[in-house]
Amino acid sequence: MSVRLMSAVWDLDLPPGEKLVLLALADQANDEGRQCWPAVSTIAHKSGQGERTVRRALSDLEAKGHLTRGHRDGASTQYHVHPGQSGTPAKLAPLPKTTETPAKLAPKTPITTKSSTKASPSSRARPAVAKVLHFRLPDDWKPSRFADGTVAREIIDRRGQEWARAALESFRAWAANADDKNGAGRKLNWQAAWVKWVIEQDKRDGRTNGMARTGQPGGGSSGNGLIDAIRESRANREAVPWDAGDPRGMQIVAGLG
């Protein structure tokens, strides 16, 4: 266990699930962040999360530069924990050949020249800015309460809690199935995405209810299109197991998103 690494992890601004995974790895590593090769099941047990969530967190942490993974033949994955670093740490430089003479090994004395003009402020080295990466919706994510006076707050107060729960369920379902290729499944601010989702669902539900009143398809038995869609989706999942290749299931998810 490395207390130094765990202290560094506590100071990081990470989603709760990723921080628990990185703490579990720091608990296994030495002060250099090495000698760490726990199984995914062990990390899941230590962090109190599912193995699928742990694998996703490991990929995100590696992309953010907080750890490096190396595969060992016939053994579990080896981790190098380096919290707070941006990017993969440099590999150790190879030792010089023993056949080289001391004269060749000695560094050459650099020749420096003084400039008559001082460097301008724009030419001075600027500190590197760490790149903030987008991430998928954590399994334990909970939305914050909308502020009073906002459009989203007015919608929730008008629609009611049952509609809000149905909207949140459809939002989670969309986030879990969104594709990474076009960037839809990763967000920098999931609360902002949730606000947009509530507003769009309110508009879509209003259009659906209007169609139901004129006798066209799209209305539900409750008169609330979103709630009826959620109920129908639940009934279909209980009646027939759905997978990604089922056209009817794809139509339901597309209707919610």
Judged against a pLDDT cut of 50, whether residue 257 lies above it is answered with no
What residue segments make up the domains of the chain, in order of their start?
3-81, 151-256
pLDDT at residue 67 in the model: 83
pLDDT of res. 128: 64
- Amino acid letter at 118? K
Q: What is the pLDDT of residues 28-87, one digit of tens each?
A: 788 776 768 788 899 889 889 999 998 999 899 888 888 888 876 666 788 888 887 654
pLDDT score, position 148: 93
Report pTM. Answer: 0.37
**Are the CB atoms for 83 and 26 separated by under 8 Å?**
yes
In angstroms, the CA 43 to CA 50 distance is 9
CB distance 55 to 38 below 8 Å: no
Residue 202 clears pLDDT 80, i.e. is over it: yes
pLDDT digits (tens, 9 = 90+) for 102-135: 555 556 666 665 555 565 565 566 666 566 688 8
- 146-176 per-position pLDDT tens digit: 999 999 999 999 999 999 999 999 999 988 8
Q: Which CATH code fits 3-81?
A: 1.10.10.10
Strand pairing report for 67-70 and 78-81: antiparallel
| DSSP labels, 30-80 | -TTS-SB---HHHHHHHHT--HHHHHHHHHHHHHTTSEEEE--TTSPPEEE
Mean of the per-residue pLDDT values for the chain? 74
Percent of the chain having pLDDT more than 90? 22
What is the per-residue pLDDT for 122? 57
DSSP-derived secondary structure letter, 233: H
CB 15 within 8 A of CB 138: yes
Residue scoring higher pLDDT (167 or 1): 167
Residues 6+ apart with CB under 8 A from 124: none
Q: What is the pLDDT of residue 232?
A: 64
DSSP, res 187: B
